[in-house]
Every structure is written in C-alpha cells, then in structure tokens.
C-alpha cells in the first residue's frame, strides 16, 4: 500500500530486470542491457552512480528491507528528489511497519512523504508479509 494514499501498486511490464546489489555486479558490463527493460527492479540502497556500465542508469522499482530504510534516509535527496520517478516497495515485520504510531519504520516513511510529497512509497500489507514468511520457511526450513 502506498504510504500516503493506501492504494495497491499495479505495474504493467513487458520485460523485467531484477538487479542484485551492485557490489555483486561489478565488472559484468550489462548496464545497457539492463536499461533496455521496461521495469528495472533494484534492491535496498544499491547505488547506480559510478556503476552505470555494470548496472545501468535506470531504476523503476526499489525493493527495500525495513532494516535498509535508515540507509536510504542518510541520502534522502538522492533517493527521493533526484530519483523521484522510482517506486519504493518497503517490506518488514508488522512491529516495524504498523500504522498506529508505534511502527518505527512506518513512521520514518510517513515523515519522508511529508518532506518529499512526490515520493512513491508503498509498504507490504501484514497479510502479504505473512505469506512471504511462509514461503521463506517452506523453502529454507527457517523462520525469518
């Protein structure tokens, strides 16, 4: 759900590129190929500046763990002003994402939207997080 509007995120993509953290991509020289995709997904706060040849220049969606939100907020002008067309999908446990004033990460995101009203920030629902936790446990045998 979008932090400021609470509507579901809907995307229509012909071809997606899911790019791991740029440190894992150094030397791959696939930036131009990545930038040809209609939807480019990046993880957490992985940089593109200085790594364009390896990871490309464009970002449509950035999936961010609740633990990485403070890292985004260390450079908010870059992530929410310069990259203002990027959609952020934030995920994390209910205790950090709750919307009743007690969710520390959710509260950080609300403040960010107040400062950067054009920021497109979505958070996963509690139901979706529960589903993802179940898939993780089924595939790894471990609780997240």
In this prediction the pTM is 0.85
pLDDT one-digit tens code per residue, 61-102 = 999 999 999 999 998 888 888 767 899 999 999 899 998 999
Low-confidence ranges of the chain (pLDDT < 70): 1-6, 22, 83
CB burial of 54-86 (b: ≥16 within 10 Å; e: otherwise) equals bbbebbbbbbbebebbeebbeeeeebbeeeeeb
What pLDDT score was predicted for residue 1? 46
Q: Which domains does the chain have, with CATH numbers?
A: 16-140 (3.90.1480.20)
């Amino acid at each position: 759900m979008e932090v400021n509007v609470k509507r579901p995120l809907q995307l229509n993509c012909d071809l997606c590129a899911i790019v791991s953290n740029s440190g894992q991509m150094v030397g791959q020289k696939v930036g131009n190929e990545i930038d040809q995709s209609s939807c480019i997904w990046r993880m957490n706060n992985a940089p593109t500046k200085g790594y364009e040849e390896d990871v490309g220049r464009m970002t449509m969606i950035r999936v961010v763990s609740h633990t990485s939100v403070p890292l985004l907020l260390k450079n908010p002008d870059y992530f929410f002003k310069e990259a203002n067309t990027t959609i952020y999908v934030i995920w994390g446990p209910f205790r950090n994402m709750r919307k009743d004033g007690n969710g520390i990460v959710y509260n950080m995101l609300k403040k960010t939207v107040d400062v950067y009203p054009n920021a497109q920030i979505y958070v996963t629902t509690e139901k979706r997080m529960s589903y993802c936790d179940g898939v993780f446990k089924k595939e790894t045998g471990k609780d997240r």
